[in-house]
Chain A
């Protein structure tokens, strides 16, 4: 079924046209000479008042401390509850990687709440692993993979801590203003892990007037211990970007055809909104069936009300170019 955008486009163009007409009128508005004079006077007054006032550089800094080791405890001076958990251990995923809670930041007041759990990847020591029978003896291969895995985990942990550190800092900055409402949540989960791949999903949510959700995906290739990027899945010089992007567009169109409440930015009059292509950096993960899943944050390819959206790329589309 061919979607007829022409009538819609016409209407949209009309709006654009009218707005352009208004722009001319808009630009003709100017301040009078008298008003400009008053403006200069306001500026001068501000200068004078600046000099008069003795500013009090009284900065109260709140610094949250990080323990050197794993367990982190954040205590906040506050009216309501502030709780910190010690480490939580999630059962060993696969043989090699564990997810533990590195930091648990909680805050609650009348207008502000934060519930931020910062995950950390722990590489299980094969020597001490409970699965010692499965890993009978350390072969050179395994050891190398282990090393790479540890490095990869470190990189990912550093990134996660940087991201969540910023989120926490931003949140604490809003605490100065008691009136504004703010709610921040950060959680994580392991999505679709197989023998070969492990994906950690970091889910972030922030609300002031309206809520916004965004996610990060970290995938590790357990065979090599390296972080898996989208291009690693495909042969060199294959145009995975076009293949995947075109398939996504097909899926978007199909969904819109099937349900008029579904909207993707595909053929909108505002060209700059429209989805063109994924990039090397586009978020993705591999599901249990080892299919590529492309993930978009709210507002990336569709209006916010659509939420975060994902597209599973069918195996046939990619079978010729996968490694």
Chain B
């Protein structure tokens, strides 16, 4: 319950704006990992920022502001791709008509990035947050609004999957 709702909301909004202006590249990288081109990645960050500020009054506990913004950006990535993906990379390729390795994206080692595509959107998010953003498992659980144990299990399964794919590749 707020006694001065107007006042509190204003501070919320300003803090959130500041977070976005500090960390936009983090969101950009995240988005790029999903859409593989600069234009769409930029759109996602802009849309995410817009939504975050428009709903800043719903954030009750400012302690979690960074996590909350990150979650909005991640959901924007998911939204952009359609339903959270549980199908394989190949069928996604057919659907969206895009290909890793086209001139648009700028990866050096396609194999590694291709391997990541095998994971579901959520599992991929966990890998990105853990290995590229160095987030702790507890924070990842908060972003995804899942149990810590679930996150641990997903992480474990994803590493196993990546192992399989990468060892297949080297056998070729």
Contacts and interface: CB of A to CB of B under 8 A. Distances in A.
Interface of A: 11-12, 14-16, 18-23, 25-27, 29-32, 35-36, 38-43, 45-47, 49-50, 55, 57, 210, 212, 265, 268-270, 272-273, 297-300, 303-305
Contacts of A41: 46
Interface string B149-163: 110110111010011
A30 B149 contact: no
Interface string B1-25: 0000100000001000100110011
Given A25-B107, A45-B50, A299-B148, A272 B137 contact: yes
Contacts, number: 124
B13 A304 contact: no
A299 B42 contact: no
Nearest to A305: B153
A303 B24 contact: no
B127 interface: yes
Contact of B166 (A15, A26, A57, A268): A15
B113 interface: yes
B166 A14 contact: yes
Given A23-B131, A270-B155, A273-B152, A31 B17 contact: no
B172 interface: no
A251 B47 CA distance: 52
Contact of B156 (A18, A43, A212, A303): A303
Contacts of A305: 153
Contacts of B153: 299, 303-305
B40 to A, nearest CB: 11
Given A18-B166, A26-B128, A29-B29, 20 more contacts: A11-B163, A16-B131, A19-B127, A25-B109, A29-B28, A30-B25, A31-B25, A32-B38, A35-B42, A35-B45, A38-B46, A39-B42, A42-B47, A46-B52, A212-B147, A212-B149, A212-B150, A270-B155, A299-B147, A303-B156
When A and B form their complex, which 6 residue pairs have the shortest distance between CB atoms, in order from nearest?
A: A299-B149, A46-B53, A42-B46, A304-B153, A19-B131, A35-B42
Interface in B129-172: 131-132, 137, 147-150, 152-153, 155-157, 159, 162-163, 166-167
- Chain A at the B interface: mostly helix, strand, loop or mixed? helix
Contacts of A39: 20, 24, 42, 45-46, 49
A15 B50 contact: no
B25 A22 contact: no
A16 B162 CA distance: 10
Contacts of B152: 273, 299, 303
B101 to A, nearest CB: 15
Given A15-B163, A22-B132, A29-B25, A298 B149 contact: yes
B140 to A, nearest CB: 12
